[in-house]
């Protein structure tokens, strides 16, 4: 399989974590996503992934899978052990709920393409874009922390083992700390983050810092 990614991408980090947990090897093809002429906006890459996003996985059969959650669930079905979703029905739903909250309610508002669009609006400064990003990350993480306080029972998002929700949570909390956000205001999230950071599959595949 071939995986198109960029190391700073938290979405790509999610897939790299899943691959590490599953011990699956793929061919990695880096794609630049920053700057005035990033590779992900060029026609060559758009022919591979019309959305112009990373990650994108090309399967052994030549099929294309986009969106990190879809890729992770494909990998989980392709190689069922170890599983990336809990056995319990409600725990599986909780893990997916947290994953989708991060992908749809936090990450969707703060990727580079949103920042590029905001920077074209009259009077919007870099500092205001940074404030925008911090606002949505903090609001989203606070909501997830409250959700877990009422549902979570175990050391991870949905029980005794790291699952899909943790795979999406960890890159987001790593980037939150890099924004200067103190995770200790959400003790439950901070605890999960610390436990995940002790696991090589997570720590070694965190999103790279932007230079």
- What are 101-123's pLDDT values in tens digits? 999 999 999 999 999 999 999 99
Residue range(s) in the chain whose domain bears CATH number 1.20.1050.10: 89-203
Mean pLDDT of 11-39: 96
Who wins on pLDDT, 167 or 152?
A: 167
- In Å, how far are 10, 134, 191 from 53, measured between CA atoms? 12, 22, 31
Distance of CA 75 to the CA centre of its chain: 15
| H-helix or E-strand spanning residue 169 | helix 164-178
Residue 152 pLDDT? 65
Q: Is the pTM of this model over 0.75?
A: yes
Backbone phi and psi for residue 80, each to the nearest 5 degrees, phi listed first: -65, -20
Tokens encoding 164: 């899909």
Between 3.30.1330.10, 3.30.470.10, 3.40.30.10, 3.40.50.10190, what CATH number should domain 2-78 receive? 3.40.30.10
d(CA 201, CA 17): 6
Write the pLDDT tens digit of every residue in 50-61: 999 999 999 999
Top-level CATH class of 89-203?
A: mainly alpha
Distance of CA 153 to the CA centre of its chain: 23
Mean pLDDT of 22-26: 98
Residue range(s) in the chain whose domain bears CATH number 3.40.30.10: 2-78
Cis peptide before 55, with omega less than 30 degrees from 0? yes
């Amino acid at each position: 399989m071939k995986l198109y990614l960029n190391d700073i991408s938290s979405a790509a980090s999610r897939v790299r974590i899943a691959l590490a947990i599953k011990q699956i090897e793929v061919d990695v093809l880096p794609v630049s996503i920053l700057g005035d002429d990033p590779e992900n906006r060029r026609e060559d890459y758009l022919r591979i992934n019309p959305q112009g996003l990373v990650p994108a996985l090309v399967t052994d059969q030549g099929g294309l899978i986009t969106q990190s959650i879809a890729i992770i669930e494909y990998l989980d079905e392709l190689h069922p052990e170890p599983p990336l979703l809990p056995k319990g029905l409600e725990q599986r739903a909780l893990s997916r709920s947290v994953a989708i909250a991060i992908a749809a309610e936090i990450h969707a508002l703060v990727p580079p393409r949103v920042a590029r669009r905001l920077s074209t609006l009259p009077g919007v400064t870099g500092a205001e874009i940074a404030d925008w990003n911090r606002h949505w990350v903090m609001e989203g993480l606070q909501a997830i922390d409250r959700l877990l306080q009422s549902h979570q029972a175990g050391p991870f998002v949905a029980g005794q083992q790291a699952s899909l929700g943790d795979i999406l949570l960890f890159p987001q909390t790593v980037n939150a700390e890099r924004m200067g956000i103190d995770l200790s205001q959400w003790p439950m999230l901070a605890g999960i983050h610390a436990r995940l950071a002790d696991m090589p599959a997570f720590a070694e595949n965190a999103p790279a810092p932007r230079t």
